[in-house]
């Protein structure tokens, strides 16, 4: 059973993997896995919206959602290829 925090909700962590990987050390509280998934998809959409042409062919980007036990719950991956 997940550990409950200040709001009585479990913690979820959102780890970004790209040219400069970022590990989420603080996490966020959500009522359930579905709410964490919704946050992850919104986050991925915002990142892609703000990328402004910096995402190049051959690059990959992902966000991995884990629970407090570091179990991967979800992974959103975005990759690009240039066709020759």
Task: Give the model's pLDDT for residue 30.
Answer: 96
**Which residues 6+ apart lie within 8 Å of 9 measured at CB?**
29, 30, 31
pTM of this prediction? 0.80
* Secondary structure letter of residue 1 according to DSSP: -
Task: Provide the mean pLDDT of the chain.
Answer: 87
Q: pLDDT at residue 45 above 50?
A: yes
CB-hemisphere CA count at 13 Å for 34? 0
Task: Give the model's pLDDT for residue 1.
Answer: 45
Q: pLDDT at residue 59 above 80?
A: yes
Query: Residue 59 forms beta bridges with which residues?
Result: none
pLDDT tens per residue, range 3-30: 555 668 999 999 998 877 889 999 999 9
């Amino acid at each position: 059973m997940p550990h409950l925090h200040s709001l009585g909700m479990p913690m979820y962590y959102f780890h970004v993997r790209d040219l400069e990987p970022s590990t989420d050390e603080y996490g966020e509280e959500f009522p359930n896995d579905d709410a964490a998934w919704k946050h992850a998809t919104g986050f991925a959409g915002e990142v892609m919206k703000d990328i402004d042409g910096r995402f190049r062919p051959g690059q990959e980007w992902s966000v991995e959602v884990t629970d407090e036990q570091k179990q991967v719950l979800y992974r959103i991956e975005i990759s690009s290829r240039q066709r020759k």
